[in-house]
């Protein structure tokens, strides 16, 4: 990013980059978790849940791209190796359930990841409010998406 673009950021850039990289890794962990659960799940209602998970995984990939672009703009480096993603993430990765037909568990694991992301983007939005409008807008946009994701999966769980 240009000098001025970085100069106007009134939060310590290192702190910001740490939080952004955590979120970046969270998005990749969530995307792989959802995508993998969709791949392995079995049973009569599995295709419905798998459709939701696959759509969600694609959305999380778009989130990762947006965060990655912001990290680059700020002069940072998005986590470059897949084997570092779980360690770098704030929310971690949840292993698939032993029972592949346990859709409730899969949805609960999805909700855990979404709720962790909501907390993280809410913190990032508060941290950047009035201090870094570009990251603030990004955090608010992603927060809006994760809030709607949580609702989608809560409804899915209720209607299973
Ligand atoms: Fe996301
Ligand atoms: Fe999400």
Query: Taking the model in full, what pTM does it have?
Result: 0.96
Residue 60 CA to ligand 1 centre (angstroms): 4
pLDDT tens, residue order, the chain (160 aa)? 578 888 899 999 999 999 999 999 999 999 999 999 999 999 999 999 999 999 999 999 999 999 999 999 999 999 999 999 999 999 999 999 999 999 999 999 999 999 999 999 999 999 999 999 999 999 999 999 999 999 999 999 999 8
52 domain-assigned: yes
CA 38, CA 46: separation in Å to the nearest integer? 8
CA 121, CA 55: separation in Å to the nearest integer? 21
Question: CA 113 → CA 11, 34, 44, distances in Å?
Answer: 26, 10, 25
For the chain, how many structural domains are there in total? 1
Neighbours of ion ligand 1 (CB under 5 A): 27, 60, 63
Domain containing 28 equals 10-158
89 Cβ neighbours under 8 A, 6+ residues apart = 22, 25, 26, 28, 29
- Name the residue with tokens 């970046």: 24
CATH number, position 51: 1.20.1260.10
130 domain-assigned: yes
């Amino acid at each position: 990013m240009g000098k001025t673009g970085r100069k106007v950021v009134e939060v310590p850039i290192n702190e910001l980059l740490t939080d952004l990289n955590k979120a970046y890794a969270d998005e990749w962990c969530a995307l792989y978790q959802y995508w993998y659960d969709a791949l392995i799940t079995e049973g009569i209602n599995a295709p419905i849940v798998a459709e939701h998970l696959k759509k969600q995984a694609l959305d999380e990939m778009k989130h990762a791209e947006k965060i990655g672009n912001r990290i680059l703009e700020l002069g940072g480096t998005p986590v470059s190796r897949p084997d570092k993603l779980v360690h770098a993430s704030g929310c971690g990765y949840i292993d698939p359930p032993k029972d592949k037909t346990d859709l409730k568990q899969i949805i609960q694991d999805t909700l855990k990841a979404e709720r962790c992301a909501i907390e993280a983007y809410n913190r990032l939005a508060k941290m950047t409010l009035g201090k870094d409008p570009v990251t603030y807008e990004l955090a608010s946009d992603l927060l809006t998406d994760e809030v709607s994701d949580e609702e989608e999966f809560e409804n899915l769980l209720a209607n299973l």
